[in-house]
Amino acid sequence: MRSADYVIKRVFFAIVTVFVAITLNFVLFRTLPGDAVDALRCRQCSPAFKELQRKELGLDKSQWEQYRLYVTGLATGDLGTSLRTQKSVRSELWDPIKNTMPMIALGTIFAIVLGTLTGVLAAWRRDTLVDKGGVWVSLGFYSMPTQWLGLLMVLFVAGAVGLPTSGIETPTLGILGDASTWDVWVDRLKHMILPALTLGLVLYGDYALIVRSAMLETLGEDYVLTARAKGLSNWSIVRKHGFRNALLPIVTLIALSLGFIIGGFITIEYVFSYPGIGLETVEAIDQRDWPIVQAIFLLLTFSVIFFNLLADLLYVKLDPRVVEA
Amino acid sequence: MSVPSLPPTAFDEQAAVADIAGIEPRGRMAFLRAPALRRPSMLFGLGVVVFFVLVAIFAPLLEPYDPRAKTGAVYEAPSSAHWLGTDDGGADMLSLVIAGSRVSLIVGFAAALVAMLIGGTIGLWSGFYGGKSDTILMRITDYVLVIPDIPLMIIIAALFGRSLTNIILIIGIIYWTSTARLIRAQTKSVRERAYVTRARALGARNQRLIGKHVLPQVMPLLIANTVLTVAIAIFAETYITFLGLGDPSLISWGRLIENAFTGDAVLNDAWWAIVPPGVCVTLVILACTMIGMAMEDALNPRLRVGHLSVRRFRLRPLKGALETE
Amino acid sequence: MTAPLLQVENLHVWFDLEGGGELHAVQGVSFDLAEGERVGLVGESGCGKTTAILAVMGLLPPSASIAGKVFLDGEDILAQGEETMSPHRWVDVAMVFQGAMNAFNPVKTVGEQIVEPMELHGTASGKQARQQAGELLERVGIPAARASSYPHQFSGGMRQRAAIAMALACTPKVLLADEPTTALDVMVQAQILQLLVGLAADFGLALILVTHDLPIVAQVCERAAVMYAGEIVELGPTDALYHDPRHPYTRLLFAATPDLYGEDAVVSIPGTPPRLDRELTGCPFAPRCDSSFAPCATVKPKLISTAADHTAACHLNDPALKAAS
């Protein structure tokens, strides 16, 4: 099939999966024991209030009706209303998303760069100290529970380097005088570094192993022998034939893993009290604020679907053989 | 979403040759003899796992104090009386860590077993019978894969209670998917081998085919994958307990880390409450990963071929009888 | 008499075995190659012929060690290892690999891979190189426009031709062809062989053709060397080898070639080649030989001249020993 056909096929599949995800999301949160409102715990939640909630949320309507409302609501970008704060879910989630994205981006870029360097070096200098040491260190970080690494950071690194360990901004900033935009940015960045570093270190181990493995696989191929026979130096071979070919599995595996970073950043935000989506998830679940949880869940699922699709599309771009599959 | 993956291969040359000859390969024996299983990393991994399993089994005998009793001051530093100090309730850390090994390992192994049973069965069924049930099962797997694992676990744990069994089931139900895919691929490949076709032609019934011919060839891969799942399960347990969703009456390494966090160990500079349980978790996960990787290498030896070496090719001087021609 | 272009003197190759010990894969191979000459290297799979020519170009994996001398135009190119060898690769000695299918990098176009050695060694670059690549492809019977195709878009025969074109990129003096026609169907085989002979004549190439297939040696080569268990057991003009073989192995090899139209029963050589990880006493072929006698089990035969330019390593050619038996 031609590459355009393949792309269309993958996109179509992604869209179908999105619909299935939306439906599953709906079903999941409706099958939770008890009415969504029953379990609500908050200060102003008297029984009368809860009755009002029920009517507002349309929980007295039939399941099909609710489903229809839900899907049409989504189409217009309406994610519902938070049970705790009575504000729209969208406005509630906006800040957390704004906080989480840069932190994750920072951590992931760090992990990809360090992981790729380590992996390529380890494969090139195979079986030497650089390789063995690199593998052990990578495996070591990969095996650490994220929250534990976070705690270690707080315990040993924060004090030594003078970085803050919770929240996203220093409360005292701007009290003694006007804080410039630059100051605010720097302050935020400082708060992001430790969480991002923790995320980065845990991810880097995984990526280093993926890159090394892909490189070794590639370097064992026959065309590497041809390249060597032509007289190319080891480093040229690693660059032109090894890495370029290893990009296929590397890119797809990394793209796939991006969809699953979620596990990591929830506990990281919890440790650092970082007001992002992860912390919001935990708090919302704890307080049974289901509309929020449902929306976050949907967002995370979309993220996984998106990155899977990205992986598929990148694969087509990188491997001329896929087209003929 | 399907990602192009490496095809499963015969796990040693014997199997491939046997396939051509149409006879049943002596799979298991050859596998156990693979040099990859004698690597130092594999032995280290086995040693660590065995060590902790023994600690878990003999925990009551090894604990210097009752882990739940207050036997010292709050957050006492390590001393000769308390080798690893005490926690926020004055209980001996060493005893706690030893006691914690039981639940952590039980959850790890049990959950991995659940995942293996579910994933293995689905994979075998899908791979062997193919056709419609295969398509359906794989679609379901694809959709389950898209659901973010940690948030789902948090939600279910928050709702359905915090018992040990629940935690085990939750983890097992979420992590069967990669096993299913792997086993399906391997089953498909084994199914096409000559000796299976021959047995079928001779009239063997499906159960017999699966039990006697397919399963033994799939088993080593299943075990390798299960070992890796143990690592994931132990991780998952630490996440769930860290967020406060574990069984509060059970002592596990994850629980100890959570306790240190909520008990402000950082503020008290009580590194001894934070470091030891995390080290244990990291070691066990590292060990399982190494075992799993060594087993996978034993099954798939082609990674050992490499055309590149930093060292130049080696020249030897001719000596003795070889010198004259 | 002019000095030979390529002179291999007492070449030995050992491979480290993973459990310890060594495999003596090439045991004292010596032969000459004059300018424009075509020599065949014949033997069963595993006899060391591929290893020998890989050693000539220094292309063995890190687990190998080499002893002996390889003179190219009088210069010992093995002497200083990789440094002396590299500049000669592809420019003086080029290779067409067994299984050209995999000799190409799947993610680069065929044209790019032909241009690569040109630009590396500085024989041509840019537009001129691309033009020359196109001309080479035409020479081997592929339209120049196909240079922008990927290897998987070629048929097996076309890929083999492209591999030959690639080997000629830097107009080498010696071409090593390792089983260039195996895995191709008979019609295509004949074409490739014709191509090789034609190109050798046009380019003034010296050719070493490695194969287990006798008829093609007879077709292409003027002289041939027969290898068994890592050694050359007979060396001489192809005609002489066929009509007057002086080693039982050579005779049996020719007899074992099935004659499609003949009425004779298919002859095969009983037994298997010896293991090369241990020292052997006596003649390595003795266990399978149909004419062995007393000295064969204990004394290793040396290559003796039996006629002008014809040597064989068999006690049967030694009148003194024969008389004594």
Is A24 an interface residue toward B (CB < 8 Å)?
Answer: yes
Roughly how many angstroms between the first and final C-alpha of chain B, as a whole number?
Answer: 63
B104, B190 contact by CB (below 8 A): no
Q: Give the residue-averaged pLDDT of C153-164.
A: 89
What residue has token string 């993220």? A303
Range B271-290 average pLDDT: 93
Q: Which of C60, C66, C302 sits opposite B316 (nearest CB)?
A: C66
Tokens of A237: 């071979």
Judged against a pLDDT cut of 90, whether residue C271 lies above it is answered with no
Among the listed residues C40, C3, C36, C72, the one whose alpha carbon sits nearest the alpha carbon of residue C204: C36
With an 8 Å Cβ cutoff, are A17 and B159 in contact? no
Is it the case that residue B3 has pLDDT exceeding 70? no
Closest residue on chain B to A300 (Cα): B148
| Beta-strand runs (E) in chain C | 6-16, 22-33, 38-42, 64-72, 75-76, 93-96, 174-178, 206-211, 223-228, 231-237, 304-307, 310-312
A 137-176: CB under 8 A from B: 139-140, 142-149, 151-152, 154-156, 165
Residue B8's pLDDT band (cuts 50, 70, 90):
very low
pLDDT above 90 (res B56): yes
Does pLDDT of A137 surpass 80? yes
Q: Please, what is the end-to-end C-alpha distance for chain A in angstroms?
A: 7
Cβ of C89 within 8 Å of Cβ of A229? The answer is: yes
Cα C18 vs. chain centroid, distance in angstroms? 27
Residue B9 confidence class, pLDDT cut points 50, 70, 90: very low
Q: Quick one: CA dihedral C32, C38, C43, C44, positive or negative?
A: positive
> Given this model, what pLDDT does residue A323 score?
56
Q: What is the ipTM of this complex?
A: 0.86
pLDDT at A129: 86
- Across residues B77-81, what is the average pLDDT? 85
Per-residue pLDDT band for B10 (boundaries 50, 70, 90) equals: very low
Please tell me the number of Cα atoms within 13 Å of A224 on its side-chain side: 27
CA C227 vs CA B184, B235, C233, C245, C254: distances in Å = 45, 58, 6, 14, 14
CA pair distance A289, A81, nearest whole angstrom:
9
**Close Cβ partners of C9 (under 8 Å, ≥ 6 residues apart):** B325, C30, C68, C69, C70, C71
Split at pLDDT 50, 70, 90, the class of C172 is very high
Q: Using an 8 Å Cβ cutoff, are C117 and C170 in contact?
A: yes
Encoding tokens for residue A171? 């409360």
What integer pLDDT is reported at residue B76 of this predicted model? 85
pLDDT over 80 (residue C195): yes
Placement of tokens 């036997």 in the chain: B71
Closest CA to B284 of B112, B120, B63: B112
The helix or strand, by DSSP H or E, that contains position B315, with its residue range, turns out to be strand B314-315
Mean pLDDT of chain B: 80
Identify the residue among C107, C123, C166 best suited for mutation to test binding to A, counting A beta carbons within 10 A and taking the highest.
C107
pLDDT digits (tens, 9 = 90+) for B212-235: 778 888 888 888 889 999 999 999
Cβ atoms of B241 and B255 closer than 8 Å:
yes
Closest CA to A214 of A67, A115, A106: A115
pLDDT for residue C155: 87
Would you say residue B2 has pLDDT above 50? Answer: no
- Read off the pLDDT band of B311 (50, 70, 90): low
Average the pLDDT over B165-178 and give the result: 87
At residue A199 the predicted structure's pLDDT band, cuts being 50, 70 and 90, is very high
| Contacts (Cβ under 8 Å, ≥6 apart) of A189 | none
Distance CA B248, CA B253 (A): 12
Indicate if the pLDDT at residue B67 is higher than 80: yes
Does the structure show a pLDDT above 60 at B260? yes
Q: What is the pLDDT of residues A270-325, one digit of tens each?
A: 999 899 898 988 888 888 788 888 888 888 888 888 888 888 888 778 877 765 54
Q: What whole-number distance in Å separates Cα of residue B277 and Cα of residue B52?
A: 12
Main-chain phi, psi angles of A243, to 5 degrees: -65, -45
When pLDDT is averaged across residues C292-316 and rounded to a whole number, the result is 85
Q: Compute CA distances B46 → B143, B194, B278, whole Å.
A: 35, 35, 19
Residue type, B172: G
Closest residue in chain B to residue C31, using alpha carbons only: B325
User: What pLDDT sits at residue A138?
Assistant: 93
Indicate whether C324 pLDDT > 70.
Answer: no
- pLDDT of C273 > 70? The answer is yes
**Mean pLDDT of chain C, nearest integer:** 86
Q: What is the pLDDT of residue B303?
A: 47
| Confidence (pLDDT) at B325 | 40
pLDDT at C97 (0 to 100): 87
Cα B298 from Cα B296, distance rounded (Å): 5
Q: What pLDDT shows up at residue C241? A: 87
* % of chain A surpassing 90 pLDDT: 12
Dist. CA A311–CA A253, nearest whole Å = 8
Q: Do C105 and A223 touch (CB under 8 A)?
A: yes
Q: Distance of CA A232 to CAs A18, B103, C23, C52, C55, Å?
A: 47, 55, 28, 21, 17
Residue A168, pLDDT > 80, answer no
Residue C130 pLDDT grade (very low, low, confident, very high; cuts 50, 70, 90): very high
**According to the model, what pLDDT value does residue B6 have?**
32
Worst-scoring range by mean pLDDT, A27-41, B85-99, C142-156?
A27-41
- Top pLDDT among C151 and C63 is at C151
Nearest-10 crossing angle of helices B93-129, B177-191: 40
Q: Read out DSSP for A52-86?
A: HHHHHHTTTS-HHHHHHHHHHHHHTT---B-TTT-
CA pair distance A199, A120, nearest whole angstrom = 21
Least confident of A67-76, A266-275, B61-70: A67-76
Q: Looking at residue B324, what is its pLDDT?
A: 46
The pLDDT of residue A198 is 93
3-state SS assignment for residue A181: helix
Q: What is the pTM of this model?
A: 0.80
Residue B4 pLDDT: 28
With cut-offs at 50, 70 and 90, classify the pLDDT of residue B306. Answer: low
Residues 6+ apart with CB under 8 A from B217: B15, B25, B27, B186, B190, B193
Interface residues of C toward B, Cβ cutoff 8 Å, are: 9-10, 12, 14, 18-19, 28, 30, 58-62, 64-68, 78-79, 81-83, 302-303
Q: Is the pLDDT of residue B1 over 50?
A: no
Could you tell me which residue, A79 or C214, shows the higher pLDDT?
A: C214
State yes or no: pLDDT of C260 exceeds 80. no
Mean per-residue pLDDT, C181-204: 86
Mean local confidence (pLDDT), A208-220: 86
> Which residue does chain B place closest to C29, by CA atoms?
B325
Residues of chain A positioned with their CB less than 8 A from the CB of B1 = 10, 13-14, 17, 305, 308-309, 311-312
| C239 to C235, C252, C255: CA distances (angstroms) | 11, 15, 14
Cβ atoms B105, B53 nearer than 8 A: yes
The CA dihedral of C55, C59, C60, C62, to the nearest 10 degrees, is: 140
C259: left (phi over 0), alpha (psi -120 to 50) or beta: beta
The pLDDT value recorded for residue A57 is 63
Given this model, what pLDDT does residue B275 score?
93
Note the helical H segments in C171-295: 186-203, 214-220, 238-243, 248-256
Residues A137-145, mean pLDDT to the nearest whole number: 92
Q: Which chains touch A (3 or more CB pairs under 8 A)?
A: B, C
Kindly report which listed range (A44-58, A272-286, B94-108, C305-319) carries the lowest average pLDDT score.
A44-58
- The predicted model gives A231-256 an average pLDDT of 84
Q: Identify the pLDDT of residue A64.
A: 76
Select the more confidently predicted residue: B192 or C77. Answer: C77
pLDDT value at B13 more than 50: no
Q: Report the pLDDT value the prediction gives residue A23, as an integer from 0 to 100.
A: 82
Strand partners, C232: C227
pLDDT in tens, A75-101: 777 777 777 777 888 888 888 888 898
* Nearest Cα to Cα of residue B243 among B263, B259, B265: B259
- Distance to chain B for C135, nearest Cα, Å: 31
Per-residue confidence (pLDDT) for residue B111, from 0 to 100? 94
Task: Answer whether A230 touches C (CB < 8 Å).
Answer: yes
Average per-residue pLDDT for chain A: 81
Which pLDDT band holds residue C75 (cuts at 50, 70, 90)?
A: confident
Interface contact A320-C107, CB threshold 8 A: yes
Residues B295-305, mean pLDDT to the nearest whole number: 66
Asked if A311 and A252 count as a contact pair (C-beta separation under 8 A), the reply is: yes
The per-residue pLDDT for A43 is 61
